[in-house]
Structure formats: C-alpha cells, structure tokens
Amino acid sequence: MSLPQFRNEDEFRKLWIAPFLSKMGFILPKNTHGPDEQGKDFIFADYDRFGHLRFLAAQVKLGDITTTRNAVEPLLSQIKRCLTVTIKYHKEAENKKVSAVYVMASGRITSNAREHIADALRQEQYGENVYFLDGDQLFRQDRYSTYNEDKAIRERILAFQLELEFNAKTILFSRKELSNGGVNLIPFQLTALSDVLASPITFSEISRLESNKLWYYYQELNRIFSTRDFSTPTIELVDDIAVYANYAEVTIELLLTQCSKMLTSIDAKYDLYIEH
C-alpha cells in the first residue's frame, strides 16, 4: 500500500502531513515552509516521559529521495539547518533546539540516500537524531493511528448501542409489570448517553438532537418511577408512562440504526480481502 497521489509538495504538506501529525498526537504542529523556514517544513512537539517539552522538525519531500545531487544535497543542507535553529517558545524561559529531524517522503527513500545523508551527518552535532519515513512507512503509521482512533470510537458506539438495547428491554419490562399490577420498575441507564452528549463522537452520524430528546424521555420516566405511587396505578399514571415510553422507543430505534451504520462503516475499513 502507498500514499495517494498529490499534485505538488504544498498539497502533500497541507492535506496529508499536517493532519497526520495531529492524528499521531503531536502538539503545536506548525507548517513553517517558506523563505524563512530555516531548513524545516514543519515544527511540532511532544512531551517526554518526564513531562519535558521536546521540539521536532520534519523535512517533507514529494516523490522519491535518491542520491542524485539535485535531490540529496539541498535536503542535506536543510537538515543541517534544522539541527542548528533556535526555537523561541513563549511559555519556556529558555530557547530550544530541535531534538530530532524526520525526513518524510511520499515515495521511496533509497538505501543509498539514507546512507549518504547519515554518513554526512555523523560529523554534525546531534546528527544521529535524523530519521527517515518513506511513503510506505507513513502509510502504515497513519493506518495504525487511524485504527487506534477508530477503535476508541467503536468502543464508545458499542457501549451506547448496548445501553440503548438495555433500555429498550426496560420499556418492555415496565409495560409488562404495569399490566400485571407490579411495581418493581427498573430505572433507565444514562451512562453512555451522558458520555455521547458531553463529548460528541467525532464525525458521528449519531443525532445530537435525538440524543437530547432521549435524555429527556429517560429523565421523565425515571422521575415517574421514583416519585409516583404505584400501589394503585391510575389510568393517568399509566398514560403518562405510555407517552414517554412510546417516544423513547421510536428514538431508541432511530439511534440504534445510526449506531449500526457507524459500526459497519468502521468495520468495513478493516475487512480482510484475500486474493486467489
């Protein structure tokens, strides 16, 4: 597998590299390409395990990187400049240096090019902190980070789906209890719904409007269950429950359909196709 085709290097930086860095969890990503870039196309940062901020740089190239003089010498010069540039970060008292440089190419980086650059940088201070990511490696990293994001989203949707199914059964149980004169009514669960409302799922098809409606129906039903007298259920009481229960059932069905579509969409990304 490989990266998509890009019309030019600027498109590769803006449409692929910038979102990729954010998806990988790096902070403060900044596209610095231009006349004042000082050798770096991107500056970004992360925290080490002790909580210290480290600044990193990326040199981005469209296509292959080979040992032809026109390709490797300008790149080598840019990498050297990356390693010497000073970064002024307003929240830190001291100026910072780049801790590592990543050479990212949409195509191949030949072994000869890697060796040539590595040999030339051995004489440079911190020159060993230069890493290469070709198109295949970038694709795999992006796939992995996307998988982790999809996995987390899938877990949230599945939890919401299971809660919807539980509450749908709660409605059926409540109707049966009331018809038999019972008073052991089960309250509706709200944990997953609260999570969806408090932190909406990215690019979700789950309707926020319908989720808010369902929250209201659940709250009203739980209020009725906990405050009304069920020792001698009145017609008015049964009707009140029926109204909110009917609304809740319709909304649950709609949200279950949306959950199913999202789960199918996520799972389809990771279907295994075997060619014979």
pLDDT at 273 > cutoff 80: no
Q: Are 12 and 20 in contact (CB under 8 A)?
A: no
Integer CA distances (angstroms), 276 to 1, 272, 273, in order: 18, 13, 10
The mean pLDDT of 89-112, rounded to a whole number, is 85
Q: How many CA atoms lie within 13 A of 274 on its CB side?
A: 1
Work out the pLDDT band at 89, boundaries 50, 70, 90: confident
Closest to 106 (Cα-Cα) out of 63, 137, 69: 63
Alpha carbon of 190 to those of 36, 248, 251: distances in Å? 53, 13, 14
Token pair 């052991």 is found at 184
pLDDT at 175: 86
Q: Does residue 159 or residue 88 have the better pLDDT?
A: 159
Write out the H or E segment, with its range, that includes residue 96. Answer: strand 96-105
The answer to whether residue 34 scores a pLDDT higher than 90 is: no
How many angstroms separate the CA atoms of 22 and 242, rounded?
Answer: 48
**AA letter at 137:** Q
Q: Above 90 in pLDDT, residue 262?
A: yes
pLDDT for residue 230 is more than 60? yes
Q: Tell me, yes or no, if the pTM score tops 0.85.
A: no
Asked if residues 125 and 95 have their Cβ atoms less than 8 Å apart, the reply is: no
Tens digits of per-residue pLDDT, 11-28?
Answer: 999 999 999 998 888 988
